Structures are given as C-alpha cells and as structure tokens.
C-alpha cells in the first residue's frame, strides 16, 4: 500500500516501465469518480472506480498547495468520463492523460492540509484519495469581530460537547526547526534549538502526570510547515496544544515573557511577533480568498473557536502567572493574535514566548540548564493546574 509522505513531491512507484495490463488484457479503465465526506476525519474521500487493479499509482501536491495530482500508471479513462460534481473542498476535477498514464487533477478551495492515496481494502480495483483542505482565509476572517450574542450562544452549546473530553493528550509544539532557525539571539543562541530543548523538558515533566500522554509536532531538528503542525496535533488526538517560542527585539533591553491565544490583532507590538511566528505563511496572499469562503463553515469554525478560546485564555493566564510568581520572569501579559498555528490546531491552544534571546541577560538565563528547567517546569505546572481545574469542572457537570 502506498501512503503519502507529507512533503514528498512525487510518490510514483518506480514501476512506470511495467506494462500495466489487467487480467482482461486491456489496461485498467477509470469508470467513475465519486466524492464522500470522510466518516473518521475532517476531509473528503475521493473514490476512483477502476475496471481492473492499477499496478502503480501516486499522488503529488501542486507547487502552490492548492490541489493534488493523482497519476495511475498505464491506466486510461472510460471514453466521455466526467468527474461527478465535486463536493467541498474541491473546486475542480480534471481528467487527463500524460506519458505515465492517467492523471486526475483535483483543485481545492483553500490549501491542501493533508492528502493520502491508498488502495481500497474491499474493492481492490478502486483507489481512495483522502484530501483535507484548510483555508488560510479563516485567519483573516478571525479579524472581523464575531457577533457577541452568537458567540456566547454557540460557546454555551459547545461547552457541553467540548467538555466531554478529558485532557488526555497534550501536544507540545517546538517552534521552527530545520531550515527555519527562528530568531538568532545573543551569543548565537538559536530559537529552534532552545525551544526544542524546553519542549522535551516540558514533555518529560508531563509524562509523569497520571492520565496524560505527550505528543510532539517535532522531536528533532526538522522543518514542519505551520499548517502541518495543526494536522499532526489533530491526527494524534490532541486535546491541548502548547507552542513554545522565544522572542526577539531590535532593542536589546526588551525583556520578559508573554503568552498568546488565538484572537484578533489588538496591538502593533503583537503584530511584530505575529509576523515573525506566522513565518512562512504569507497571510496577505490568502486574504483574497475570503470571498470564496463558505459563511456556514466560518460559523462552525467560530463555534469551535469560541469554546476553545475560553480554555486557551485560561491556560495562557496560568502560564504567565507561573513565569511571574514562580520563576521571577518579567510579565508582558497574556495577549491575543491570529496565529496560524493556533487556528490550525482546532483545540485549546496557546503560543508562549519564553523570553527575549536578543537580551543578553535573558539569553544567558535561557541558555542555562537551570533557566530552561525553570521555564519548562513553569509551563508544566500551568498545564497540570489547568487540567485539574478543567476536569474538576467536568466531574461537577457529570454529577
């Protein structure tokens, strides 16, 4: 079974020289394409109905992230075959032929967040393609204030279903990695290394907490796209998402810790952090898509977000309290901003800036074993206290 690897450009088997002729003596023919929402994941499943088993197949993502191309080596399409009217998130389905064989191009509205191709276990001749899209325009949409009444109503309704889940899996997200070093501080300290180290320490503390399972978006020095981080978090069943970063400022005296939850951009100071941490995602590029965005879907996003935001803000407060009262760090307070990574997580999520590595004294503290350990234990205690308070609420509600 051929599974998609997230960043591989091309996943064709090196079998294109095989003569792909089916049992009947004719090449496998694509007879129909059908689309159904996945029953287990947020995306859509595309079924490619073939007359015979396709010997080799592959999937690549378009360079611009807005679609996928499926290649079925040595296959052809039944004459006059058209794709059924595609359902969300697909905008277009085009069948064509290239030298390798049959191609099916699927364009999505938004960007492709996850894509997989595999053979159907039951109907061996069919191929199944799973595609999940994430429209970055939601981030822009979050900048428009929601209707207060609607937000409260939805939040109340959702608190029941959201609260039905214990915080049994915590996702620790070390910012940056690989070709993205993050910021570089005094003495050459690199954000990506520092936050990975702290992430492992937080994870080590959490492992010992009963009923908590820890997952990392990255546990080594590798590059992961922002949108991929949220996908990983959800795939691993995360209930809480903690993204760890280090701050930087031109002014070497800037100091202190701050913790963000997903929200609207309220200050110019937050804009600098936002632009740095949103990194590779050029938000501006995606703003134009807002017009294509389905308002019903936006309402659903807001429903989830409004319930998650209360939790996120609570955790952010607890982290800042720990930094200030237990570790004696400067308190730049809890802030809100539309971080892509927090939105993509789709669960209570915070992004914490553990200090300024552009400040000589903070860089020294953060670079020390003790400093890293103090920061990690502060984050750990905040998560632990949050979990205890949150689950006590669940138990009361369940009585």
Contacts of Zn ion in 81-140 (CB under 5 A): none
Give 190 or 364: the residue with its C-beta nearer to Zn ion.
190
Tell me, rounded to whole angstroms, the distance of Cα 137 from its chain centroid: 15
Q: CA nearest 197: which of 224, 170, 169, 216? A: 216
| 245 lines the binding site for Zn ion (CB under 5 A) | yes
Pick the binder of Zn ion from 86, 89, 110, 175 (CB under 5 A): 175
Binding segment (CB under 5 A) for Zn ion, from list 51-59, 101-109, 169-177, 282-290:
169-177
Contacts of Zn ion in 262-281 (CB under 5 A): 277
* Binding residues with Zn ion: total (CB under 5 A): 4
The token duo for 111 is: 């960007």
Task: Output b/e per residue, 364-391; b: 16+ Cβ within 10 A.
Answer: ebbbeeebbbbbbbbbbbbbbbbbeebb
Give 175 or 177: the residue with its C-beta nearer to Zn ion.
175
Distance between CA atoms of 256 and 355, rounded to whole angstroms? 5
Do you find a cis peptide bond into 89, omega within 30 degrees of 0? yes
- Nearest distance in Å: CB 206, Zn ion: 21
- Nearest distance in Å: CB 372, Zn ion: 16
Distant-in-sequence, close-in-space partners of 50: CB < 8 Å, separation ≥ 6:
28, 29, 30, 31, 72, 75, 125, 126, 127
Give 134 or 353: the residue with its C-beta nearer to Zn ion.
353
Binding segment (CB under 5 A) for Zn ion, from list 40-48, 151-159, 240-248, 292-300:
240-248
- Nearest distance in Å: CB 337, Zn ion: 13
- Nearest distance in Å: CB 245, Zn ion: 3
Chain position whose Cβ is nearest to Zn ion? 245
Q: Please say whether the dihedral angle defined by the alpha carbons of residues 202, 203, 207 and 211, taken in this order, is positive or negative.
A: positive
Binding segment (CB under 5 A) for Zn ion, from list 7-15, 26-34, 168-176, 354-362:
168-176
Helical segments of 279-346, H only:
283-287, 295-327, 340-345
Q: CA nearest 339: which of 173, 131, 184, 156? A: 173
- Cβ atoms of 187 and 358 closer than 8 Å: no
Give 182 or 263: the residue with its C-beta nearer to Zn ion.
182
Contacts of Zn ion in 176-205 (CB under 5 A): 182
For residue 353, what are the β-bridge partners?
245, 258
| 332 lines the binding site for Zn ion (CB under 5 A) | no
- Cβ atoms of 176 and 198 closer than 8 Å: no
- Nearest distance in Å: CB 273, Zn ion: 8
Give 132 or 193: the residue with its C-beta nearer to Zn ion.
193
- Nearest distance in Å: CB 196, Zn ion: 12
Site for Zn ion, rule CB under 5 A:
175, 182, 245, 277
């Amino acid at each position: 079974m051929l599974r998609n690897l997230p960043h591989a450009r091309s996943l064709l088997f090196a079998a294109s020289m095989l003569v792909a002729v089916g049992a009947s003596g004719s090449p496998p023919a694509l007879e129909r394409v059908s689309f159904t929402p996945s029953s287990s994941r947020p995306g859509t499943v595309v079924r490619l109905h073939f007359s015979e088993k396709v010997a080799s197949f592959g999937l690549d993502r378009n360079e611009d992230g807005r679609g996928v191309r499926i290649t079925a080596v040595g296959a052809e399409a039944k004459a006059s075959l058209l794709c059924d009217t595609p359902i969300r998130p697909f905008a277009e389905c085009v069948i064509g032929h290239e030298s390798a064989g049959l191609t099916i191009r699927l364009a999505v509205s938004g960007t492709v967040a996850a894509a997989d191709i595999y053979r159907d276990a039951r109907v061996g001749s069919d191929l199944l393609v799973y595609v999940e899209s994430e429209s970055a325009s939601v981030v822009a949409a979050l900048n428009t204030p929601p209707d207060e009444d609607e937000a409260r109503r939805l939040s109340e309704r959702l608190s029941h279903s959201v609260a039905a889940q214990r915080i049994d899996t915590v996702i620790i997200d070390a910012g940056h990695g690989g070709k993205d070093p993050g910021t570089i501080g005094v003495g050459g300290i690199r954000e990506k290394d520092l936050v990975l180290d702290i992430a492992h320490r937080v994870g080590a503390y959490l492992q010992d907490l009963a009923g908590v399972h820890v997952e990392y978006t990255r546990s080594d020095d590798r590059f992961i796209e922002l949108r991929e981080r949220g996908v990983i978090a959800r795939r691993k069943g995360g209930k809480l998402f903690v993204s760890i970063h280090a701050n930087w400022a031109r002014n070497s005296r800037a100091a202190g810790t701050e913790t963000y939850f997903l929200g609207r951009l309220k200050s110019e100071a937050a804009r600098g952090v936002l632009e740095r941490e949103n990194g590779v995602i050029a938000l501006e590029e995606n703003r134009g898509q807002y017009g294509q965005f389905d308002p019903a879907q936006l309402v659903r996003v807001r429903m989830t977000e409004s319930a998650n935001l209360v939790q996120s803000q609570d955790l952010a407060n607890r982290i800042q309290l720990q930094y200030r009262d237990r570790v004696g760090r400067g308190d730049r307070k809890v802030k809100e901003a539309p971080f892509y990574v927090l939105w993509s997580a789709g669960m209570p999520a915070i992004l914490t800036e553990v200090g300024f590595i552009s400040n000589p004294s903070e860089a020294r503290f953060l670079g020390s074993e003790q400093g890293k350990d103090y920061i990690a234990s502060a984050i750990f205690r905040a998560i632990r206290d949050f979990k205890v308070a949150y689950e006590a609420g669940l138990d009361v509600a369940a009585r």
